[in-house]
Amino acid sequence: MKGFMKRWILSCMAFMWVSVICGQNKFVVSGYVTDSKSGEELIGAAVSIQEIPAAGVYTNEYGFYSLSVPQGKLTIAVSLIGYEYLSVPVDITKSVKLNLDLTQKITRLGEVTVSSEKRNDNVTRNQMGIDKLNIQEIKNLPSFFGEKDVLKTLQLLPGIKSAGEGNSGFNVRGGTTDQNLILLDGATVYNPSHLMGFFSVFNPDAIKDVTMYKGSLPAEFGGRLSSVLDIRMDDGNNKKIEASGGIGLISSRLTVGGPLRKERGSFIVSARRTYADLIVRGLARAGVLKDTTLRDPKLYFYDLNAKANYRFTEKDRVFLSGYFGRDVLGLPDFGFDWGNSTATVRWNHLFNDKLFLNTSLIFNNFTYTISNGSTVDPINIVSKIRDFSVRQDYQYSSGHNNQVRFGFESTWHRMVPGTITGADTNTVFKSLPVSNSVESSVYFSHTLNLTQHLNINYGLRISEFSLLGDAPFFIYSSYNYADSAKSIVDSTRKVISYIRPEPRFSVNYVFNDRNSVKASYTRNVQYLHLLSNSTTGSPTDMWIPSSYNTLPEISDQYAFGYYRNFASNNWEFSAEVYYKSLFQQVDYINGAILNFNSNVESQLLYGKGRAYGLELLLKKKYGRFSGWIGYTLSRTERRFEDINRGAWYPARQDRTHDVSVVAIYEFPRKWTFSSTWVYNTGNAVTFPKGVYVIDNRPVLLYTDRNGNRMPAYHRLDISVTKQFTERKNYRSSLTFSLYNAYSHDNAWTITFRQNDKTGQIEAVQTTLFKLVPSVSYDFRF
Amino acid sequence: MKSLTRIFFLAGVPLILSVSCQKVIDIGVFNSAPQLVAEGTITDQQGPCIVKLTKTIDIDNFAGIPSVTGADVEISDSAGVKETLTEAGNGIYISNTILGIPGHKYKLMINSGGQLYSAVSVMPHPVTDFRLGIKKEVAGTSGGSPGTGGEPYQYRVSYAITDPGEYENYYRLVIFHNNMEISSRRVFDDKFHNGKVIEDDFVLHDTLNFRPGDLIEIDLQNIDRDIYNFFRTLRMATGGLSFLSASPANPLSNITNGGLGYFSACSVIKKHLTIPG
């Protein structure tokens, strides 16, 4: 930990130095963009100068912007989806502070009105492979059991695919689900799902902004190969107390927010709890469910989000945010519960109108507990991942669209793969060794406009990972068995460390305000690896650090895109192609034992991967009618020496075609209709080719890994929302949704069994959800 | 693992009513080259050692499994004993004299149509303490399979083994009802109990088949690690959770040259129970 402190101090000093040399003498307009009604800072609002089209910036994660301007009379313009366009004339004679208030266009729940302003951020922005979701967009779309879900809405975008029926796990550009970094107010969420993946842990009422980076990560992010999903919690209204909530079929939600002190600070508390257990109990007691052990089940999840912020001075603001969620599943003879908790303290400080600093202290903890319920041998096994992080992010603006970002991050991971409690004297199962590691990085990136048409961004992230001692470490000369452990290192010092540079580069050539092309190269490194041999994400999936045997995973992504807006920016079109090479990917030997195995690394195989594809998106952003059509053509393959005789084979998540169509139509103040339709090629799976007999019972014979395909998947969802007339500030709406509206038999699994009568082997397809209707009631006052 | 299946089911329940419809589908015709399958066991008990040789068959044509005839099958002992097995028809090859001795290493050699296969297994020492019990109880009690046949009672067998601490031990239970084998895939190791008493219990499925006075024989086999892994992965491949595995695979065989199945040298302790009234 000493080395870590040293690095920490050195990095700080390096940054201070950078901030000193970057001085320039132009005037600066800077400030916060906020929501006029709630006073909340707005993320990603485009602030530009009408007289100088190329000079434009976006507000950062805290709603702050800084724009260098020449002397004279200028018009500052601000635009953001869902808000009225704002233009403010200013006469620049010196640097000024200008806080801008935007008025929401949404006057009723779920309503979006027509807009004709020019908004071409998608064309002019340097960043590629980025998707931003408007929370209102999420709320308008059909939902699964009435639960609006951030992660499932994201799956409707090109390049982002669902990990399975009704599943909140997702694959980005051929990556596995563990290659996504999911951040909630900066804290890593290791397991973002509830109820075996059917629901995500993000309660949409508590969320303000969702940004997804598909591989072309800005230098400030790292640690995962495929994507970063940056979710920011709502700050709460700093002008008046507000409450909102909803009642659905399986859960209810309530959110309360308001000022801590008017215009200086606000808070928000949001809670959600399911009552599925009550339904199960009812069904079991009424005799609908035969299994008698279901009569008194424990089965629920809950989420609690809380956040507060306070502006101490004009230049200092502190945010505190936290999340706590838990799933509880229990039968008389088996118990299982898990959950995440995160806490973040952030301090925004403005050194001057050009230099913005955010300092964060982050804590997160994921635990699961299994109790085996055996009457003879009761055992509780607890597994944990706990992180403490500190990070500083500096943003320096100078000149037109000339922005420098730099900072550092350091995280202490403590992973407890399995600690046993409550075992009787007859059990010798030892708790698995705890691993400690430190993951640190420093980064620098610079975005600048070379000409009016050309802007570039270059950056470098240098990451370092150290596995710390005190647990025994093994080196396996060959896989399969623990006895191949060659030597054992048992020390309390740093065991092994890796340093990996991660260069990032992107260029954007803007032909005119409607057309642009972008290209990027990104190298990402991932030091933590998820071991899971299951098709559905399970809480028992285990994270392991990089070690002697498991090297850091690396990906190189090359992407190229064309962006075009039509009809006064009401329509946008984009086409992106990407090619990704992946190294040090992890797979498992046949019959691998992943849980409670102190030699788990002896069960792993290492290989490489490649993924490439084309993503098309045509989107109508504004108007009564809005929506999009997304199409992805892609291939994802892996190559392991010991799988399929070393040949390239399709990864499970390889899907050739993926289509999504989203349409929303609104009658202002009355009704909203929306529908989504998805189609995708089935996953690559392994079907048996032959059969043989052991002990007079059939055993299936498998030949090639992932040599077969599930049937194509398609599904239509529709929903109708009725807004009721506003009464004394009380607004409410009722939503009906149909999931799988034409009740298609989508294959969740295909299994093989012997027919009792004919004795032949037959394939059986299980469909999880046919037509599922749901209803929910939402309110706000 | 059964509980885990139920948890998955339970997780789905609130979402139910709409849930889980199954249908038989046609996934096309598959061709696979026939592969040799061996099931061979040598024990420390009197009686012939049996090796059964069959072949794999295409999955859409599972009628009669072809047996392998005319093969040369030989078992040898690390102490130098060697015997060629006699073909008894239907792919079954039997020995006349060879008897397994705990601690010895056994090698199976097969020559079938010019293809050579072999397998090695070391016979573990038998444990000395193996105890059994049986009781009749109310159906649906913890661990039972609720509602099997609808009987109000079920039979629970409990067992205890004193595990030797000096080695890793692997066990397999083979259960016979009136001399008919009814279960043979229950395997476990001593990972959590090395050197202690291993105690567990299970319910006899299909309660109606059992009548008071029926004879239950339980053979405790001390098997080697390869065989444990074979049966463990066999259970994974055929058990209820296989559909959740991202990459289904063949059971880990100890037969070389692409052969399937197993050759096990095991020591056996036989114990008997009577179904209570």
Interface of A with B in 429-458 (CB under 8 A): 429
3-state secondary structure (DSSP) of residue A739: strand
Q: Per-residue pLDDT for A640 more than 60?
A: yes
State how beta strands B153-162 and A528-531 pair: unpaired
3-state secondary structure (DSSP) of residue A14: helix
Does A532 contact B55 at a Cβ distance shorter than 8 Å?
no
For A145, which residue in chain B has the nearest alpha carbon? Answer: B15
Q: What's residue B233's pLDDT?
A: 84
B183/B198 Cα distance (integer angstroms):
20
Q: Report yes or no: A76 and A85 within 8 Å, Cβ to Cβ.
A: no
Q: What's residue A118's pLDDT?
A: 46
A542/A216 Cα distance (integer angstroms):
27
A501/A499 Cα distance (integer angstroms):
7
Between B146, B185, B244, which is nearest A535 by CB? B244
CA of A581, closest CA in chain B: separation in Å? 22
Most confident of A47-51, A565-569, B217-221: B217-221
Residue range(s) defining the domain that contains residue A48: 2-105
Mean pLDDT of A319-329: 89
A111/A309 Cα distance (integer angstroms):
28
> Could you tell me which residues are beta bridge partners of residue A370?
A336, A381
State how beta strands A207-213 and A130-133 pair: antiparallel
One-letter amino acid at A684 equals A
Question: With pLDDT > 90 as the criterion, what percentage of chain A qualifies?
Answer: 26
3-state secondary structure (DSSP) of residue A228: strand
Interface of B with A in 112-171 (CB under 8 A): 140, 142-143, 146-147
* Residue A670, domain member (yes or no): yes
Q: For an interface test with A, which of B5, B15, B167 has the most A Cβ atoms less than 10 Å from its Cβ?
A: B15
Q: What's residue B6's pLDDT?
A: 47
Q: Per-residue pLDDT for A376 more than 90?
A: no
Q: What's residue A621's pLDDT?
A: 80
Compute the mean pLDDT over every residue in chain A, rounded to the nearest whole number. Answer: 81
Q: Per-residue pLDDT for A493 more than 60?
A: no
A212/A133 Cα distance (integer angstroms):
8
Domain parsing of chain B, residue ranges = 36-122, 130-242+267-274
Q: What's residue A19's pLDDT?
A: 39
- Residue finishing a domain among A64, A90, A105: A105
Instruction: Say whether residue A335 is in contact with chain B using an 8 A CB cutoff.
Output: no
Does A763 contact B16 at a Cβ distance shorter than 8 Å?
no
Q: What's residue A62's pLDDT?
A: 80
Question: Alpha helix locations (H) across chain B?
Answer: 2-12, 225-238
Helix or strand (DSSP H, E) at A282:
helix A276-285
Q: What's residue B29's pLDDT?
A: 64
CA atoms within 13 A on the CB side of A290: 6
- Residue finishing a domain among A68, A90, A105: A105
Q: What's residue A761's pLDDT?
A: 83
Does B238 contact A700 at a Cβ distance shorter than 8 Å?
yes
Mean pLDDT of A525-539: 77
Mean pLDDT of A29-44: 82
Structure confidence at residue A116 as a pLDDT band (50, 70, 90): very low
Q: What's residue A25's pLDDT?
A: 45
* Residue A20, domain member (yes or no): yes
Structure confidence at residue A360 as a pLDDT band (50, 70, 90): very high
CA of A761, closest CA in chain B: separation in Å? 6
Q: What's residue A430's pLDDT?
A: 65
Mean pLDDT of A644-656: 90
Q: What's residue A282's pLDDT?
A: 65
Q: What's residue B115's pLDDT?
A: 92
Q: What's residue A4's pLDDT?
A: 44
Structure confidence at residue A27 as a pLDDT band (50, 70, 90): confident
Q: Per-residue pLDDT for A330 more than 80?
A: no
Mean pLDDT of A752-781: 83
Mean pLDDT of A374-389: 78
- Taking the alpha carbons at both ends of chain B, their separation in whole angstroms is 31
Does B20 contact A767 at a Cβ distance shorter than 8 Å?
yes
Tokens coding A681: 């090629």
Across A38-42, A103-107, A278-282, A774-778, least confident range: A103-107
DSSP at B68:
P
Q: Per-residue pLDDT for A490 more than 80?
A: no
CA of B169, closest CA in chain A: separation in Å? 14
Between B200, B246, B252, which is nearest A535 by CB? B246
Between B3, B12, B39, which is nearest A334 by CB? B3
Count the domains in chain A.
2
Do A168 and A39 share a domain, yes or no? no
Tokens coding A618: 């045509």
Tens of pLDDT, residues A184-228? 998 998 888 887 677 888 888 888 888 899 878 889 999 999 999
- φ/ψ of A535, rounded to 5, equals -75, -30
Q: Listing from the earlier edge strand, what are the strands of the sheet with B72-77?
A: B82-84, B72-77, B105-112, B115-122
Mean pLDDT of A432-442: 88
Between A297, A689, A702, which is nearest B10 by CB? A297
Tens of pLDDT, residues A442-482? 999 998 888 888 889 999 999 999 988 666 667 776 544 44
Structure confidence at residue B152 as a pLDDT band (50, 70, 90): confident
Does A699 contact B31 at a Cβ distance shorter than 8 Å?
no
One-letter amino acid at A516 equals S
Q: What's residue A530's pLDDT?
A: 87
Structure confidence at residue A590 as a pLDDT band (50, 70, 90): confident
Does A752 contact B37 at a Cβ distance shorter than 8 Å?
no
Instruction: Say whether residue A532 is in contact with chain B using an 8 A CB cutoff.
Output: yes
User: Which residues on A lie below 8 Å from B27 (Cβ)?
Assistant: 687, 708, 750, 763
User: Which residues on B lie below 8 Å from A377 (Cβ)?
Assistant: 199-200
Q: Per-residue pLDDT for B206 more than 60?
A: yes
3-state secondary structure (DSSP) of residue B8: helix
B109/A252 Cα distance (integer angstroms):
67
Do A84 and A208 share a domain, yes or no? no
Listed in sequence order, the residues at least 6 apart from A20 whose beta carbon sits closer than 8 Å to its beta carbon are none
More reliable by pLDDT, A481 or A769: A769
CATH number, domain of A603, equals 2.40.170.20
Q: What's residue A119's pLDDT?
A: 65
Q: Per-residue pLDDT for A644 more than 80?
A: yes
Q: Report yes or no: B146 and A292 within 8 Å, Cβ to Cβ.
A: yes
3-state secondary structure (DSSP) of residue A513: coil
Listed in sequence order, the residues at least 6 apart from B142 whose beta carbon sits closer than 8 Å to its beta carbon are A332, A333, A373, A375
Mean pLDDT of A117-133: 71
Instruction: Say whether residue A605 is in contact with chain B using an 8 A CB cutoff.
Output: no
One-letter amino acid at A610 equals R
The CATH code that applies to domain B36-122 is 2.60.40
Does B234 contact A274 at a Cβ distance shorter than 8 Å?
no
Does A772 contact B15 at a Cβ distance shorter than 8 Å?
yes
Q: Report yes or no: A542 and A550 within 8 Å, Cβ to Cβ.
A: no
Does A591 contact B251 at a Cβ distance shorter than 8 Å?
yes
Q: What's residue B15's pLDDT?
A: 45
Tens of pLDDT, residues A85-97? 888 888 888 888 8
Between B15, B35, B60, which is nearest A769 by CB? B15
Say how many CB pairs under 8 Å bridge A and B. Answer: 238
Q: Per-residue pLDDT for B12 more than 80?
A: no
Q: Strands (DSSP E) along A214-354, which ranges?
A: 227-233, 242-247, 251-261, 265-274, 298-313, 316-331, 334-350
Does B247 contact A706 at a Cβ distance shorter than 8 Å?
yes
User: Which residues on A lie below 8 Å from B181 (Cβ)?
Assistant: 695
User: Which residues on A lie below 8 Å from B22 (Cβ)?
Assistant: 764-767
Do A84 and A161 share a domain, yes or no? no
For B194, which residue in chain A has the nearest alpha carbon? Answer: A428
Mean pLDDT of A8-16: 45
Structure confidence at residue A59 as a pLDDT band (50, 70, 90): confident
Between A428, A652, A763, which is nearest B246 by CB? A652
User: Which residues on A lie below 8 Å from B62 (Cβ)?
Assistant: 691, 698, 754, 759-761
Q: Per-residue pLDDT for A115 more than 60?
A: no
Interface of B with A in 223-242 (CB under 8 A): 229, 232-234, 236-238, 242
Mean pLDDT of A104-114: 43
Instruction: Say whether residue A92 is in contact with chain B using an 8 A CB cutoff.
Output: no
Q: Per-residue pLDDT for A401 more than 50?
A: yes
Between A291, A377, A766, which is nearest B20 by CB? A766
Mean pLDDT of A764-774: 82
More reliable by pLDDT, B88 or A287: B88
A115/B54 Cα distance (integer angstroms):
74
Q: What's residue A105's pLDDT?
A: 65
Query: b/e map of A74-98 (b: 16 or more CB within 10 Å)?
Result: bebbbbbbbbebbeeeeebeebbeb
Do A137 and A57 share a domain, yes or no? no
Listed in sequence order, the residues at least 6 apart from A495 whose beta carbon sits closer than 8 Å to its beta carbon are A466, A467, A468, A469, A473, A489, A547, A548
A100/A583 Cα distance (integer angstroms):
47
Q: Report yes or no: A227 and A215 within 8 Å, Cβ to Cβ.
A: yes
For A644, which residue in chain B has the nearest alpha carbon? Answer: B249
User: Which residues on A lie below 8 Å from B253 (Cβ)?
Assistant: none
Do A446 and A518 share a domain, yes or no? yes
Q: Per-residue pLDDT for B174 more than 70?
A: yes
Tokens coding A696: 């007079």
Can B36-122 and B130-242+267-274 be said to share one CATH topology? Answer: yes
A412/A388 Cα distance (integer angstroms):
5
Do A284 and A368 share a domain, yes or no? yes
Q: Listing from the earlier edge strand, what are the strands of the sheet with A749-754?
A: A749-754, A761-769, B19-25
Tokens coding A769: 């959800």
Interface of A with B in 355-374 (CB under 8 A): 372-373
CATH number, domain of A30, equals 2.60.40.1120
Helix or strand (DSSP H, E) at A2:
helix A2-21
CA of B172, closest CA in chain A: separation in Å? 14
Listed in sequence order, the residues at least 6 apart from A352 whose beta carbon sits closer than 8 Å to its beta carbon are none
Does B236 contact A375 at a Cβ distance shorter than 8 Å?
no
Across A102-106, A624-628, B226-230, least confident range: A102-106
Do A373 and A505 share a domain, yes or no? yes
Instruction: Say whether residue A419 is in contact with chain B using an 8 A CB cutoff.
Output: no
Does A689 contact B146 at a Cβ distance shorter than 8 Å?
no
User: Which residues on A lie below 8 Å from B197 (Cβ)?
Assistant: 426
Q: Cα–Cα distances in Å, from A290 out to A287, A374, B147, B202, B245?
A: 6, 22, 8, 21, 27
B155/B186 Cα distance (integer angstroms):
17
A490/A325 Cα distance (integer angstroms):
36
Question: With pLDDT > 90 as the criterion, what percentage of chain B qualifies?
Answer: 45
Interface of B with A in 25-64 (CB under 8 A): 25-27, 30-32, 34-35, 37, 39, 54-60, 62-63
Do A84 and A150 share a domain, yes or no? no
Do A668 and A731 share a domain, yes or no? yes
* Residue A175, domain member (yes or no): yes
Do A182 and A51 share a domain, yes or no? no
Q: What's residue B249's pLDDT?
A: 79
The CATH number of domain B130-242+267-274, selected from 2.40.128, 1.10.540, 2.60.40, 3.40.50: 2.60.40
User: Which residues on A lie below 8 Å from B219 (Cβ)?
Assistant: none
Q: Per-residue pLDDT for A163 more than 70?
A: yes
Place of tokens 């809005």: A626
Q: For an interface test with B, which of A693, A703, A750 has the most B Cβ atoms less than 10 Å from its Cβ?
A: A693
Instruction: Say whether residue B67 is in contact with chain A using an 8 A CB cutoff.
Output: no
Q: Per-residue pLDDT for A400 more than 90?
A: no
Q: For an interface test with B, which of A178, A193, A294, A691 has the most B Cβ atoms less than 10 Å from its Cβ?
A: A691
Q: Cα–Cα distances in Å, from B47 out to A386, A694, B37, B50?
A: 58, 21, 23, 9
| Whole-complex ipTM | 0.87
